[in-house]
Amino acid sequence: MIEIKNLHKSYHMGKNSLHVLKGINFTVAEGEMVSIMGSSGSGKSTLLNILGILDEADDGTYTLDGTLIKNLNEKVAARYRNKFLGFIFQSFNLINYKSALDNVSMPLYYQGVKRNIRTEKAMHYLEKVGLADWASHLPSELSGGQKQRVAIARALASDPKVLLADEPTGALDTKTSYEVMELIQGINDEGKTILIVTHEEDIAHMTKRIVNLKDGLIIDDSLVNQVRAKTEAYV
Amino acid sequence: MFNIERWQEIFEAIRKNKLRTFLTGLSVASGIFILVILLAIGEGMQNGVAKQFEKDATNRISVWTNVTSVEYKGLNPGRIIEMDNRDYEMAVNKNSDKLEYKSGVYSRWGQLTTYKKENGSYRVEGVRGDYQFLENATLVAGRYINQGDLNNFEKITVIGNQVYLDLFKGENAIGEYVDISGIKFKVVGIYTDPGGEREETRLFIPLTTAQRVFNAGNKLRSLAFTLIKHDNYKDALAASEAFSAELESDLKAAHTISPTDDRAVNVNNTLEKAKKFYDLNNMIRWFFWGVGICTIIAGVVGVSNIMLIIVKERTKEIGIRKAIGAQPWSIIGMILHESIFVTAVAGFVGLMFSMLLLQLVGPFIETEYIRNPSVDFSVAITTVIILVVAGAVAGFFPAYRAANIKPIEALRDE
């Protein structure tokens, strides 16, 4: 599903150049649930941004679902993001003046899906994350965990190949974190490929494979026994 | 444009940012308001000036004389120059093919005029039949002076509407006799003049009668002419100027006046004067357009500024939209659309307010130089076009900036 070879990325700040990724090689097969770990500055967020076509590598190749991602213009990049990827952010990044339902249906709007179908689909995903009753609420009326679940529903709405989560539990307490992870595990169980960037050990161990980054290089890449998040009723 | 989703997005964005939108709109609305009011005042000035020239025939040329101011051929300055019938005849004979209406005038100010117990002091003018058209007067009742009256020294008079109201209080006047300076004149007509009350407080009597009853011999106070109409304004003006100049030099020659004396003979060319006014008026109009457009530009800059702030404010949102698949053009469209919509609606409000004000107040404005300020349909359409263009211009730069926002930077923006 994801194949990257010899990926390099540097940031230039004035005269200083910061070599963040120094030759990353790694592949993710369909249906995998991988966590990318590393201390801050290890390059994990940069890697995720490149994977998410939000940023472009200086060197190396990135193939997503058989499509080479290189030198894309904004238009094509936007289309690929919409088609291939679903994003989950640490700070949720919901549009605060739109209801939960409208937030979830937004990727479908950009796909050109008709309104009634869009609403139907968005409602389906909201049900899936257990927030059907909150469809008409604004993000400001939801708790952190609920917001993240709306964000997950939004990420799923366009039926992407890969879900990319950047510290999805970073802003949540442990209990809520586990609930969100349980939801993500459920999605993975249905066959969706998921990449999670995290620096929390317990969250990482809820995935099936941990990739450890340090100073722009992969120092460890190993499969782990997945710890299931506790099954509890949704709040 | 007709994408309902886009409209929903815009209404949502506006609903969530009422104050911001209101302030944006206010600057545009006031810009349009000022533009329309200025244009209306320009129009009003045009109307006012037109009205000024309506009181007499627009191509009228009047001649009157004064004292000489320059020594000439041994004659001292300060000589009183008086015209007489010969001057009139000379001018008429020389230009018989050019003149449309013509009249010599012998007038007296402040003549006590009495009818029964009512009296008033009016200007009495001895004129020829053509004078009706030279004055642009319309008869309300009866007839005007004719050649027969002149030939027979008839003691008849055509009175102004105001004189009629003063003396007759609305009673029948035709056939009645009024007493002018002790002489009975039969009222044969009542006229109205677009020049208003001032022009209607006069009595016209036959020129020959006037010269006789006022013991004036064959003297004339002034001459009035109009030239035969030309097809276009330029020709008319040229003919009128040539005639004025020739008449002036002829009169000077006849009365032994220095050609350099600019006081002794006055030839007043209405057309020339009108042209000056219309030229001035046109300039004022362009000036008003200029000021109005500048006001709108200020409004546009304001809108542009606010839209930039909006883009800045919505950077993160735009980043999110891009991350989940928004195309750059859809972002541009969104900002541009909102900008045009806000400008257009606000502009319309400004337009409506100014129109309303003009409708309510305009007809009551009747000063000497501003009359019924209003704007016509084409001006309204022009301002609407200006609005849409202004909205597009105001939205363009912010939209361009928004489209160039990198999602990754936008998302990092907390």
The model's pLDDT over B142-159, given as tens digits with 9 standing for 90+, comes to: 999 999 999 999 999 999
Residue with tokens 């004659």: B75
Q: Do A107 and B328 touch (CB under 8 A)?
A: no
B322 touches chain A (CB under 8 A): yes
Strands (E), B211-323: 219-220, 222-227, 265-269
Rounded to the nearest angstrom, the minimum Cα separation between B303 and chain A is 22
Residue B271 half-sphere exposure, CB side, CA atoms within 13 Å? Answer: 23
How distant, in Å, are the alpha carbons of A147, B24, B38, B359 from that of B29? Answer: 40, 9, 14, 18
Helical ranges in A86-213 per DSSP H: 100-111, 115-128, 144-157, 174-189, 201-204
Which has the closest alpha carbon to B239: B253, B227, B231, B222?
A: B227
The mean pLDDT of B212-229, rounded to a whole number, is 90
Confidence at residue B2, expressed as pLDDT on a 0 to 100 scale: 55
Report the alpha-carbon distance of residue B224 to residue B229 in Å, rounded.
16
Confidence at residue A233, expressed as pLDDT on a 0 to 100 scale: 43
Confidence at residue B188, expressed as pLDDT on a 0 to 100 scale: 94
Determine the number of helices (DSSP H) and then strands (DSSP E) in chain A.
Answer: 7, 10
The mean pLDDT of B246-256, rounded to a whole number, is 90
Confidence at residue B285, expressed as pLDDT on a 0 to 100 scale: 80
The residue of chain B with its CA nearest to that of A52 is B323
Name residues whose C-beta falls within 8 Å of residue A201's C-beta, 6 or more positions apart in sequence. Answer: A37
Pick A75's closest partner by Cβ from B4, B12, B328: B328
Q: Which residues of A touch B323 (CB under 8 A)?
A: 52, 54, 81, 87, 93
Q: CB B297: neighbour CB atoms within 10 A?
A: 14
Retrieve residue B57's tokens: 């025939």
Q: Which residues of B touch A55 (CB under 8 A)?
A: 408
Residue A125 half-sphere exposure, CB side, CA atoms within 13 Å? Answer: 27
3 state DSSP class of A32: coil
Q: CB A104: neighbour CB atoms within 10 A?
A: 30
ipTM: 0.86
Which has the closest alpha carbon to A124: A147, A160, A87, A156?
A: A156
Residue B192 near residue B141, CB atoms below 8 Å: no
Whole-structure pTM value: 0.64
B327 touches chain A (CB under 8 A): yes
Rounded to the nearest angstrom, the minimum Cα separation between A135 and chain B is 17
Q: Which residues of B touch A81 (CB under 8 A)?
A: 322-325
Rounded to the nearest angstrom, the minimum Cα separation between A147 and chain B is 15
Q: Do B329 and A75 touch (CB under 8 A)?
A: yes
Confidence at residue A234, expressed as pLDDT on a 0 to 100 scale: 46
Residue B89 half-sphere exposure, CB side, CA atoms within 13 Å? Answer: 5
B16 touches chain A (CB under 8 A): yes
pLDDT tens-digit profile of B53-106? 766 667 888 999 989 888 888 888 888 989 999 999 998 998 888 888 999 999
Q: Do B326 and A110 touch (CB under 8 A)?
A: yes
Q: Which residues of B touch A89 (CB under 8 A)?
A: 411
A209 pLDDT above the threshold of 90: yes
Could you tell me whether strands B183-192 and B138-142 are parallel, antiparallel, or unpaired per DSSP bridges?
antiparallel
The residue of chain B with its CA nearest to that of A79 is B325
Pick B322's closest partner by Cβ from A49, A78, A111: A78
Which range among A61-70, B42-51, B328-337 shows the weakest confidence by mean pLDDT? B42-51
The mean pLDDT of A107-120, rounded to a whole number, is 89
Is residue B378 very low, low, confident or very high in pLDDT (cuts 50, 70, 90)? confident
3 state DSSP class of A142: coil
Q: Do A54 and B321 touch (CB under 8 A)?
A: no
Which has the closest alpha carbon to B44: B369, B379, B380?
A: B369
Confidence at residue B413, expressed as pLDDT on a 0 to 100 scale: 58
Report the alpha-carbon distance of residue A140 to residue A161 in Å, rounded.
30
